[in-house]
């Protein structure tokens, strides 16, 4: 019975984290889009990726609930492995949602702020970008200080604004 309570606590805590992240993301997205134009904009991971990760999370949660009910009924075919697998699917979805919510690039005039998941934010001027390359899948590769700074997929929201900014500054 102690293991079942442990699994239930894991699932409930993941759901709580999911709700907090979604409420913070929805509140921030309103301010991010305010006053958007070709000089002030925010690049974000496409919404489709966030919703795919949410679907993973919900799928894992539904599977967990189904297997949990069978486990409570002492069904011998349901093992702890089933519950761990469901928690794993939920965790993958949750990590994707966190990444999609945290990763963004804010461009304000000639200044760029890059926010990543596990690294410190980087603030730099567009003029500090030394080189821009186009990858095989049309992604932008930005280089500064002799090192690759970031790779930006062409499906990123407001990608075309960044292209125009880089062209205007002679980097592209």
Tens digits of per-residue pLDDT, 21-72?
A: 767 655 554 345 445 677 899 999 988 888 999 999 999 999 999 999 999 9
Read off the pTM.
0.72
Residue range 109-163, pLDDT digits in tens: 889 999 887 788 899 999 999 999 999 998 999 999 889 999 999 999 999 999 9
Q: Answer yes or no: is 19 within a domain.
A: yes
| Pair (110, 73) in one structural domain | no
| Structure confidence at residue 30 (pLDDT) | 39
Q: Answer yes or no: is 10 within a domain.
A: yes
| Pair (111, 134) in one structural domain | yes
Q: How confident is the model at residue 5 (pLDDT cuts 50, 70, 90)?
A: confident
Q: Answer yes or no: is 38 within a domain.
A: no
Q: Answer yes or no: is 134 within a domain.
A: yes
Neighbours of 101 (CB within 10 A): 20
| CATH number of the domain where residue 142 is located | 2.30.29.30
Domain of residue 118: give its range.
104-168
Tell me the pairing of strands 104-108 and 111-115: antiparallel
| Pair (9, 81) in one structural domain | yes
Residue range 75-114, pLDDT digits in tens: 999 999 999 999 999 999 999 988 888 889 999 988 999 9
| Pair (92, 119) in one structural domain | no
| Pair (26, 8) in one structural domain | yes
Residue 121: phi and psi, rounded to 5, are -65, 145
The Cα-based distances of 48 to 21, 51, 87 in angstroms read 17, 5, 22
| Structure confidence at residue 24 (pLDDT) | 66
| Structure confidence at residue 156 (pLDDT) | 92
Q: How many domains does the chain have?
A: 2
| Pair (96, 108) in one structural domain | no
Neighbours of 151 (CB within 10 A): 12
| Pair (17, 64) in one structural domain | yes
Q: Is 104 exposed, middle or buried (0-12, 13-18, 19+ CB in 10 A)?
A: buried
| Pair (124, 56) in one structural domain | no
Q: Answer yes or no: is 6 within a domain.
A: yes
| Pair (160, 109) in one structural domain | yes
Q: Answer yes or no: is 37 within a domain.
A: no
| Pair (76, 88) in one structural domain | yes
Q: Answer yes or no: is 40 within a domain.
A: no
Tell me the pairing of strands 140-144 and 40-44: unpaired
């Amino acid at each position: 019975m102690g293991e079942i309570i442990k699994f239930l606590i894991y699932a409930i805590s993941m759901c709580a984290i999911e709700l907090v992240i979604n409420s913070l993301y929805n509140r921030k997205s309103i301010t991010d889009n305010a006053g958007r134009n070709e000089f002030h904009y925010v690049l974000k991971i496409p919404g489709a990726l966030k919703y795919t990760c949410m679907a993973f999370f919900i799928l894992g949660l539904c599977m967990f609930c189904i297997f949990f009910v069978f486990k409570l009924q002492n069904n011998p075919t349901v093992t702890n492995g089933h519950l761990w697998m469901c928690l794993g699917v939920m965790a993958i979805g949750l990590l994707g949602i966190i990444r999609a919510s945290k990763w963004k690039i804010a461009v304000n005039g000639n200044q760029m702020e890059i926010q990543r998941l596990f690294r410190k934010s980087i603030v730099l001027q567009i003029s500090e970008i030394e080189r821009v390359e186009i990858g095989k899948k049309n992604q932008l590769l930005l280089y500064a200080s002799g090192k690759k700074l970031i790779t930006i997929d062409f499906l990123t929201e407001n990608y075309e604004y960044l292209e125009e900014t880089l062209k205007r500054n002679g980097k592209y």
